[in-house]
Chains A and B, each alone.
Chain A
């Protein structure tokens, strides 16, 4: 089984996680830029974070044979801090990077005017840089937040097929499916969405334009819940091909719209520098 986790925050995970993910079949992933638990107070903290997403973290992932891509954005929560507003100015440089395959996570947290300004501006950046967009839906007031997100997406002029609306549940899935956007689901140990509920949603709404992710981060989360959901799909009558569609071909199709997805391992081609360097111990 091959798995592409379309949303996981590896910066917060350990090498043990990378090892277990690789053993479970995870061969590619996308790490969206988001907040780090501790609020940032300057543009410099963001650029250092973005640098890690296009520098150190792909290198770490490559040690375990996992292809790492990123999405870059000013996240909704920190869009409310005027000290971070200028992050929007540095985004164009990062959106041109080879492995940046979408603008994200953008969207709403508390549905403020500042969030809406940043959300709309970054949808325009997605259009200008010919990238898809990854939209986070709020935890509080989720149903109305999702509807309002779909409205902002429609007003922006971006093609709905180039937008994924994430962290959906039974209540919010239908409006997203009807909008033409991709439907994203984050499988969590006890919040958001569970493997059994996910399989029921797949039975009702089908496997088309669906992205299933672990969204594992610094909170209580589990990077192997993608695999657990895939196993449950098989146990409940879905075919191997259904599983491959949901956990590989769908994310490849969605992020492939960037024209920048690189799934061949180019590390091996780069010569003797990389031979014999498996796992770095950080001995320096």
Chain B
């Protein structure tokens, strides 16, 4: 995704604020510390009709991050996440795939996955999660099931789901069955797909 795809769906007043804020960040990258928390008050928090899954504050904050110079963006993203409230942290996580930072922000994903906040765990499993090692990624997917998060938020779910994840899901299914508690249908669906794949491989 390109910055323009985030800017275009914003309401006009938010576009004006973001354009001015981006100019300030380009002139003085340190200004992002003050502008980033203000973005929600300035641009609102409504979902963007033209960009499903994004809210105005998240898009505005991603544009501020994208305006930072390449040699500072990783360090500023880390600081904004460190001192961010939950919505700011989530906005940093959502913006990561847009930034020229390689795998430098993987520690932020680890922090988010350690929390028990569904907004942060969910945001950590977007496209940037491609940088997560397999063991961490599997644990995070299983955590989504525990937290009641829909697995549709996990980027590349079926492409990355493997035999080890199947074993983990099957174990959970067995525990749930023993306790008389249901497992979420999307998790059961994934387990069935993985089991089907395994059977086909055996055959």
Identify the A interface with B (CB < 8 A). 47, 51, 54-56, 58-59, 90, 93-94, 96-99, 259-260, 266, 269-277, 280-284
User: For window 135-163 of chain B, which residues contact chain A by CB distance below 8 Å?
Assistant: 143, 146-150, 152-153
Whether the pair A277, B86 counts as a contact (CB closer than 8 A) is no
Question: What residues of chain B lie closer than 8 Å to A90, measured between beta carbons?
Answer: 83
Decide if the interface of chain A is mainly helix, strand, loop or mixed: loop
Whether the pair B53, A54 counts as a contact (CB closer than 8 A) is no
Whether the pair A97, B85 counts as a contact (CB closer than 8 A) is yes
Interface hit among B10-18, B41-49, B190-198: B41-49
Interface hit among B23-31, B63-71, B96-104, B117-125: B117-125
Whether the pair B118, A277 counts as a contact (CB closer than 8 A) is yes
16 new A-B contacts at CB < 8 Å, known A54-B85, A269-B46, A270-B55: A55-B89, A58-B85, A93-B37, A96-B37, A97-B37, A98-B37, A259-B41, A260-B41, A266-B45, A269-B47, A275-B150, A276-B150, A277-B147, A280-B116, A280-B147, A284-B143
In the complex, A206 Cα to B84 Cα: how many Å?
Answer: 41
Question: What residues of chain A lie closer than 8 Å to B89, measured between beta carbons?
Answer: 55
CB distance from A73 to the nearest CB of B (A): 16
Question: Please, could you name 12 A-B residue pairs with CB atoms under 8 Å apart, sorted by A?
Answer: A51-B83, A58-B86, A90-B83, A93-B37, A98-B37, A98-B41, A259-B41, A272-B150, A277-B147, A277-B149, A282-B116, A284-B147
Whether the pair B150, A93 counts as a contact (CB closer than 8 A) is no
Question: What residues of chain A lie closer than 8 Å to B53, measured between beta carbons?
Answer: 271
B34 within 8 A of partner (CB): yes
Whether the pair A59, B86 counts as a contact (CB closer than 8 A) is yes
Question: What residues of chain B lie closer than 8 Å to A281, measured between beta carbons?
Answer: 146
